[in-house]
Chain A
Amino acid sequence: MTIATPIYMDYQSTTPMDPKVLDAMMPYFVDTFGHPASRNHSFGWAAEEAVDKAREQVASLIGGTAREIVFTSGATEGINLAIKGVAEMYAEKGRHMVVSVVDSRPVLDVLKRLERDHNLEVTTVPVDKNGRVAAEDIKNALRPDTILVSVMMANNEIGTVQDMAAIGTVCKEAGVIFFTDASEAAGKVPVDVQAMGIDLLTIAGHKMYGPKGVGALYVRRKKPRVRLAPQIDGGGHERGMRSGTINVPGVAGLGEACALCEQLMAEESKRVAALRDRLEQGILAECDEVEVNGDTDHRLPHNTNLSFAYIEGESMLMGMKDVALSSGSACTTATLEPSYVIRALGVSEELAHSSIRFSLGRFTTEEEVDFVVKQVIESVNHLRAMSPLYEMAKEGIDLSTVQWKGD
């Protein structure tokens, strides 16, 4: 059987858009083009109606209400607005924030800037070997002047899902605002801002079969009412929190993407998890010394992150040229540092260099999984035959005792 290549297994980088989402967007480019803030003609009303519908659809997916949804350009903007908005609005209350070590890069970068330029203090909370944050550790990191806790709901590299309800409870008890980057979790696993005690939550359309360049920030209105200092000033759109003409087609697409995820989640998460397990088991059955990074009980259904001992990640990807994947290897980034997420698990730098993320999704097929398993096995055999480390390990040398000349 022939199979169409290249095969896409990088859904956590971005997803293809669901054709139904495109259908939902199409009317809002040419025909229904009005400005949703135009209050005195039908063009504006039609656009407003589309935006209102999308607001309901987004709110429904995460258990919030429509009036708590602020549309943004994506998860990164939502992160900036949430964290900087809180830092500015609650400056008099305190200058301290708490973050998990495996939060997303934009969260860590925003906090770094606030630390450097705005006199904010940040406490970073570690994770266990599976990438989970203990609510107790969050509690111990809190201070009287803490104004925000940020814990990413599900990690983008290892797929570990956090115990949001437990962390939310800790934040509630302390009266601290709880923010989460849910861009990897929303639409894949159930999200409920009420049950999880979440005050601020960001999502991105392009991670859930919606369009790129659009996202949403949930901002709690009751118990407590969270207030944010806007980071983009202008016409006072989105209740003053995010000025700028709303991207109506994008927002309509985001709404439809959320509605589809809500409708399909139960069935889809089972199907995709079964494919993920088939992939993982297929590889583990044929290759020795492969580690699963992350938490096999609490993880996203569509992710597996594997470390292939004695093989460098980028060379693995090179061997699988018909498959789109991503690696924690330093060689695939500009920084020359291996993944900070994998390192935070206590995994050796060597194994961090050897990690590969497989992320599946709505359009992944069993044939594709079987093809990828075969390619992985071939690549592992090719590269291990070439690996001096594999040779040394097989000779019984403990690599951790070797004095390397490059050290």
Chain B
Amino acid sequence: MAYSEKVLDHYNNPRNMGSFGKDEDGVGTGIVGAPECGDVMKLQVKINEDGVIEDAKFKTFGCGSAIASSSLATEWLKGRTVEQAMAIKNTEIVDELDLPPVKIHCSVLAEDAIKAAVSDYVDNKDKNED
């Protein structure tokens, strides 16, 4: 199977690859997938007091399309509000990366990772405010 130029670019030059400390202020962490399924994505967002995502980072175990989907997600997240982030759909990722049908699950996982990371931030914030 041939990869799209964009998938190859994200694979070779991953954007925002790395980790924030889980206990850093304003950080939400989402880990989705399972090793036995061949995909695990960790996506982290750093959100400021105005509810805007200032920074995002990822680490992914998975095929090239999974890596590209999560790398792209971190690019898109920066500058978005929590609401805007939650509105990102996997189909947008499919379109941007030209993912073939067998790789659609990679984009679904990336959407799940975004939601998990943002929800984690919201939960932490609620706990701190309690």
Contact, CB under 8 Å: A406 / B63: no
Contact, CB under 8 Å: B40 / A338: no
Cα–Cα distance between A387 and B35 once the two chains are bound (Å): 11
Residues of A contacting B40 with CB < 8 Å?
A: 388-389, 404, 406
- In the complex formed, the residue of B with least CB distance to A405 is B32
Q: A310 within 8 Å of B by Cβ?
A: yes
Q: B31 within 8 Å of A by Cβ?
A: yes
Q: A273 within 8 Å of B by Cβ?
A: no
Cα–Cα distance between A331 and B103 once the two chains are bound (Å): 9
Q: Which stretch of A231-239, A348-356, A365-373 is in the interface?
A: A348-356
B36 to A: closest C-beta gap in Å: 4
Partner of A388, one of B60, B102, B109, B112: B60
Residues of B85-130 at the interface with A, using a CB-CB cut-off of 8 Å, are 102, 109, 112, 116
Residues of B contacting A311 with CB < 8 Å?
A: 61
Contact, CB under 8 Å: B38 / A312: yes
Q: B1-41 CB contact bits vs A (8 Å, 1 = yes)?
A: 00100001001001001010000000000011111111111
Residues of A167-183 at the interface with B, using a CB-CB cut-off of 8 Å, are none
Residues of B29-63 at the interface with A, using a CB-CB cut-off of 8 Å, are 31-42, 59-63
Contact, CB under 8 Å: A331 / B61: no
Contact, CB under 8 Å: A334 / B102: yes
A389 to B: closest C-beta gap in Å: 5
What total of chain B residues lie within 8 Å of the partner, measured CB to CB? 30
Q: A329 within 8 Å of B by Cβ?
A: yes
Q: A92 within 8 Å of B by Cβ?
A: no
Residues of B contacting A329 with CB < 8 Å?
A: 38, 63
Residues of B59-96 at the interface with A, using a CB-CB cut-off of 8 Å, are 59-64, 66-67
Cα–Cα distance between A393 and B60 once the two chains are bound (Å): 14
A6 to B: closest C-beta gap in Å: 14
- In the complex formed, the residue of A with least CB distance to B14 is A386
Interface of A is mostly: helix
What total of chain A residues lie within 8 Å of the partner, measured CB to CB? 28
Contact, CB under 8 Å: A331 / B14: no
Cα–Cα distance between A388 and B58 once the two chains are bound (Å): 8
Contact, CB under 8 Å: B67 / A386: yes
B103 to A: closest C-beta gap in Å: 8
Cα–Cα distance between A329 and B17 once the two chains are bound (Å): 23
Given contacts A315-B67, A406-B39, contact A387 B34 (CB under 8 A): no
Partner of B39, one of A312, A348, A390: A312
Cα–Cα distance between A311 and B59 once the two chains are bound (Å): 12
Given contacts A311-B61, A315-B67, A389-B61, contact A405 B36 (CB under 8 A): no
Interface of B is mostly: mixed
Contact, CB under 8 Å: A406 / B32: yes
Residues of A contacting B14 with CB < 8 Å?
A: 386
Contact, CB under 8 Å: A386 / B17: yes
Given contacts A334-B102, A386-B17, A404-B40, contact A318 B63 (CB under 8 A): yes
Contact, CB under 8 Å: A385 / B35: no
Q: A288 within 8 Å of B by Cβ?
A: no
Residues of A contacting B116 with CB < 8 Å?
A: 405
Cα–Cα distance between A407 and B102 once the two chains are bound (Å): 20
B66 to A: closest C-beta gap in Å: 8
Cα–Cα distance between A349 and B35 once the two chains are bound (Å): 8
Cα–Cα distance between A334 and B102 once the two chains are bound (Å): 8
Residues of B contacting A17 with CB < 8 Å?
A: none
Cα–Cα distance between A314 and B39 once the two chains are bound (Å): 11
Cα–Cα distance between A353 and B39 once the two chains are bound (Å): 9
Cα–Cα distance between A407 and B36 once the two chains are bound (Å): 9
B10 to A: closest C-beta gap in Å: 11
Q: A109 within 8 Å of B by Cβ?
A: no
Shortest Cβ-Cβ A-B pairs, 5 listed: A404-B34, A349-B36, A350-B35, A388-B42, A406-B34
27 contacts between A and B (CB under 8 A): A312-B38, A312-B39, A314-B64, A315-B11, A315-B62, A315-B67, A318-B63, A319-B11, A329-B38, A330-B38, A348-B36, A349-B36, A350-B36, A353-B35, A386-B17, A386-B59, A387-B60, A388-B31, A389-B61, A391-B19, A391-B42, A404-B35, A405-B32, A406-B34, A406-B39, A407-B34, A407-B36
Given contacts A312-B39, A405-B112, 12 further A-B contacts (CB under 8 A): A314-B63, A319-B11, A330-B38, A350-B35, A386-B17, A388-B61, A391-B42, A391-B59, A404-B40, A405-B34, A406-B32, A406-B34
